[in-house]
Chains A and B, each alone.
Chain A
Amino acid sequence: MTKKIYFMKKQFYSHLITLEVIRVEMNELHLSEKEKEELLKLAESHVHHVMLDEALSRIKGDDKKIFLQHVHLAEHDKALALLRKHSQNIEMHLLHAAHVLLEELRDDIRELKKNKE
């Protein structure tokens, strides 16, 4: 069973994170679809930065370089396997970092909603 949602481009963390909460939060701002898309792309860029930071922070030594190669070549499974080698609960760490970021972005939107009211 599937559901239609805004989905980020495939990355090593794609199975963990969606921007659906941000898209839904934006609905009440009456942004045009094009504006929403541009903002979601910005949010996606934020997520990518934070995920790379979290991942590289968990990897030691030259494996950081191998990891970047995997990301560069879109070898998502290999990138994730390498991460798991360095951090058994890497998904939990990635989820936590993404959660903090997405809450910040939601707060930005909620602030605008308050002003709207």
Chain B
Amino acid sequence: MSQNGYAQHYDYLKNKWTDKEQQLNKKLWKKHKEALDWFVHQSKHITASSLGSLILLTATPGLQSATVLPAVRQTSQFAQIDHSTFLISDLYGKLPSNIVPLSQEQKERIAAILSNRFGLPVRSELQGVQLNTNYGLIGEEQHLARYPGDTMNSQLPIADDAAKYWSSGMAPGLGAWGYFASSSATMTDTDVAREKWYIAVQTFLSPGYYTNVAQYNAFFKYRKILVVNPQNGKAVVSDIADAGPSEWTGKSLGGSPEVMSYLERVDGAAKGPVLYFFIDDPNDTVPLGPISVK
């Protein structure tokens, strides 16, 4: 094809997409006229003549108006993007539209995606044990006492952490496995991390749980779980340190204040959907805490 042919490609796309842009603009204003009209009229800096381009990006040649929104006026650019975006794309279309337990096929497909993206052996079933669900609403839990006499002061000695997490308070009871350490003096870094990044899982709803409670509890104790917010790609390696929440809450699991904060699941209701799967880590080499897509 000649250079003219290539020029035609540009012209063809430019004309077609400019027309499309105008159609999208008209549709937007037709559907949301009241809110957009209000927005224009309450701004002293936007003139009536710019109504048509108010919400437009400045992409269209000739529409480089000085009155477009600052939020959309900056120039596009090549930039660095975190790979969590690719995880979000991977998961898109593979999760049910409602928050319901995943089918076996969905579990396997998602476990494969998570294994690949995080470089970990992620499993929906481990040693013959499954969770009651791998996709559910998470709610915020309180801090757990790590040893007899543990207080909020001792849990949050750093001012920044105290400012962020103090308000969550400390649970009146102990976690499902009791104290993490017998005393402050014997508490290890592992104990600290286990409390900090703990989750509460409905272990009691796990299939087969009541056939051998002691064996199941031994399996679940501090079992590592990958918890992923599918809406932003953020993920944490957590450990099971408590059982709950109750079924009537409508939630499937709970997260420590630190888990919830990192996953950005602290919205108005402090709950939202997450994916959570076992990590097969027999040699205990995967550290607890935030983990990024490889």
Interface residues of A (CB under 8 A from B): 1-11, 15-16, 18, 29-32, 35, 37-46, 48-50, 52-53, 56-57, 64-65, 68-69, 71-74, 81, 84-85, 88-89, 91-92, 95-96, 99, 105, 108-109, 112, 116
**Interface residues of B toward A: which range?**
35 or more
Measured between beta carbons, the chain A residues less than 8 angstroms from B18 are 42
The answer to whether A39 touches B74, judged by C-beta atoms less than 8 angstroms apart, is no
Measured between beta carbons, the chain A residues less than 8 angstroms from B12 are 112
Is B210 part of the contact surface with A, judged by Cβ < 8 Å?
no
Q: A1-B83, A43-B17 are in contact. Are A9 and B74 (CB under 8 A)?
A: yes
**B35 interface neighbour in A10, A16, A56, A84, Cβ under 8 Å:** A56
Is B78 part of the contact surface with A, judged by Cβ < 8 Å?
yes
| A83 to B267 CA separation, bound complex (whole angstroms) | 11
Measured between beta carbons, the chain B residues less than 8 angstroms from A52 are 28, 32, 55
Q: How far is the CB of A92 from chain B (nearest CB, A)?
A: 7
Q: How far is the CB of A54 from chain B (nearest CB, A)?
A: 10
Q: A49-B28, A64-B32, A84-B267 are in contact. Are A42 and B78 (CB under 8 A)?
A: no
| A64 to B93 CA separation, bound complex (whole angstroms) | 27
Give the secondary structure class of A's interface: helix
Measured between beta carbons, the chain A residues less than 8 angstroms from B272 are 84, 88
Q: How far is the CB of B261 from chain A (nearest CB, A)?
A: 14
Q: How far is the CB of A67 from chain B (nearest CB, A)?
A: 8
**A39 interface neighbour in B10, B31, B75, Cβ under 8 Å:** B10
Measured between beta carbons, the chain B residues less than 8 angstroms from A53 are 24, 27-28, 31-32
Measured between beta carbons, the chain B residues less than 8 angstroms from A88 are 99, 272-273
Measured between beta carbons, the chain A residues less than 8 angstroms from B60 are 42, 45
**A85 interface neighbour in B20, B81, B268, Cβ under 8 Å:** B268
13 A–B contact pairs at CB < 8 A?
A: A2-B81, A3-B80, A3-B81, A15-B84, A18-B81, A41-B76, A43-B59, A46-B24, A53-B24, A68-B36, A88-B99, A88-B272, A116-B1
| A84 to B264 CA separation, bound complex (whole angstroms) | 12
Measured between beta carbons, the chain A residues less than 8 angstroms from B83 are 1-3
